[in-house]
Each structure stands twice: as structure tokens, then as C-alpha cells.
Amino acid sequence: MAAKNVDSYIHDNCPWAKLPKQLKELLGNSAKEYEKLIVEYSVRNQLKYKTNIVRYVRSNEEGYYELLLNYSRSHLMLFPYHLSNVIVKGLRVTPFQYYCSMVEDLMIQEKSYDALPNFTAADCLRLLGIGRNQYIDLMNQCRSLKKHSNRKSIKEILPQSPVDITIHSYWIVQTGSILEDDVKNISAEEKAVIDYMIDVGPQTVSAFDTDIIQKLYKRGLIYFDVPVYDNEYTVVPTLDGFVMNRTLGDYLENILYKIFISIDSSTTASELANILQIDLDLVKVW
């Protein structure tokens, strides 16, 4: 009960000075203990640094996001897409790289595919092309490497680029973190798109040749924002081949399941947020 009470105050960005006396006593009258819980809660719930109380207890924004990313990966959570502008642009970690590292960790620990929570497993399949059968095959290759003392690393047997995805014309193209070396080996057409977006800013996919956009995506030089507006209706298609492994039970997964079972073609994003009593931004992101 105490932990739940503390979480609610952290959620409301309540500083130590304004905590009820009883709650302070439960924390041993230790502001440091409260700060520790703030960081843990913020990382666990993948909160943005600049809009939450964690910014007052962790002075290093980049360090906070590195901690958040490592926690998310080690706990097999979904990539924090709502933080893409920081994770992809700032830390130079794409969803593809994130899941490759996660799968590599699982293989090193010789864990089964069933260790992956449902939504994470579905995202790994979408981006890496690794489902249950592919994972079993990779594990067999991994064991063979160990058995024969092969110097080939696990990284080398994992996918080297994302699988092709269906890219819709209304998606917004964002540039990732692009260094000079990143554009040395790309085509003139690809470089023209990158230069244009650097000069003008994010654009819808419809502004470009989709084949060029697909190539840049697979190189990890761009990512996509999928706009969802308050008054829009969303339909979930028939779930062919949905991955059913296990549930993680964390805050974000619970929200996803709530959205998943509640969404329908007659309810707007704004109405859904009101029904579920959750932040509208969470509905629009997930």
C-alpha cells in the first residue's frame, strides 16, 4: 500500500516538501529514499525527463535515458517509441538495434523464446523477422558456435538490417542521428532526401519516393512518427499470427492491453482515453 501511495505522488510530480507527514515517516524521513523511488518509478514507466519530477533528482538527462533504455531492454519491455526523438537522435539507438541486443542477451543466457512478453515478441517479429521458429534455429546455430569454439559472434548470425515494412504515405519521416560517416556510402538520391529533411524538417512519406525511404529506414538513418489525432477512429485488423507468449505485467503493457481490448471503430482516441482514464498521449502513442 505504501509503495502504491508513493507512486501516485511521484506520478503527480509532488516534491518531497509537499509529501504528507505520514508518507515521509514511511520513507524514514529520507528525501534521498524518495529521490531513489522517483528514479525507479520514472525508469520503470519510461517517463520523459523534461516533463516529470525526475529532472529535479537526476541532473544528467542523457544518463537518465541510458538507464531507462538499459532497464527496458533487460526487462524485455517494448522499445520506448514515445521517446524516439531522444533515444534514436540522442543515444543513436534504433528499435532494430534495441531488439537485436535484447535477442542477443537472451541467446547468451540460453533463454527460451517464451521468455519474451507478447507485445515485445510481436515487435521482434515485425522488425527482425525473428519468431519462434527463427529463434530456435538461431539458438541451434549459437550452440554450434560454442561447441566448435568458433570465433564468429552471435551478432554475426543475427539480422544485419530490419525487414521490409509497409510504409504508409501519411507517416511522418524523421531524421535520426546522422554523422558524416553515415552518408558516405549512400546513393545521391538517398543523400538528397536526407539533406532536404535536415534543411526543411520532418515530412510525410508522400513527399518522397517510397523505395528511397525504405532504404534509408533499413540503414537506420530515419524513423517514423505515426500521427494520431484526438478525433480519429482506429480499427484493429484481424490478428493473423499474433504472438502469444507471456505477459510482463508492467504499467505500459497493462495500458496496451486495455487499449487493445477497448478500441473500436466508433470510439475516438480522445473518448478512449476518457473511458480508460489514462493520458491521451499514451493512447495516441501506443
Choose the weakest-confidence range: 121-125, 185-189, 236-240, 274-278: 236-240
Q: Interhelix angle for 251-262 vs 118-128, to 10°?
A: 80
**241 and 193 in contact (C-beta within 8 Å)?**
no
Answer yes or no: is 268 within a domain.
Answer: no
Q: How many domains, the chain?
A: 3
With a cut of 70, say whether residue 242 has pLDDT above it: no
CA-CA distance, 282 to 286, in Å (whole number)? 6
Q: What is the pLDDT of residue 254?
A: 82
Residue 281 pLDDT class (50, 70, 90 cuts): confident
Say if residue 5 is exposed, middle or buried (CB neighbours under 10 Å; 0-12, 13-18, 19+): middle
Q: What is the pLDDT of residue 239?
A: 61
**Looking at 72, 104, 122, which one is the last position of a domain?**
72
- The verdict on 216 and 177 lying in the same domain is yes
Answer yes or no: is 104 within a domain.
Answer: yes
Average pLDDT (132-151) is 83
Answer yes or no: is 148 within a domain.
Answer: yes
Report helix, strand or coil for 234. coil
- The verdict on 121 and 144 lying in the same domain is yes
Answer yes or no: is 280 within a domain.
Answer: no
Answer yes or no: is 250 within a domain.
Answer: no
Q: What is the pLDDT of residue 145?
A: 78
The domain of 110 spans 94-157
Answer yes or no: is 33 within a domain.
Answer: yes
Average pLDDT (203-228) is 95
- The verdict on 153 and 176 lying in the same domain is no
With a cut of 80, say whether residue 235 has pLDDT above it: no
With a cut of 60, say whether residue 271 has pLDDT above it: yes
Q: What is the pLDDT of residue 261?
A: 82
Q: What is the pLDDT of residue 238?
A: 64
Residue 1 pLDDT class (50, 70, 90 cuts): very low
Answer yes or no: is 271 within a domain.
Answer: no
Answer yes or no: is 19 within a domain.
Answer: yes
Segment 29-82, tens digit of pLDDT: 999 999 999 999 999 999 999 999 999 999 999 999 999 999 999 999 999 999
Angle at 282 between CA 265 and CA 52, to 5 degrees: 165
CA-CA distance, 130 to 113, in Å (whole number)? 10
Average pLDDT (193-198) is 96
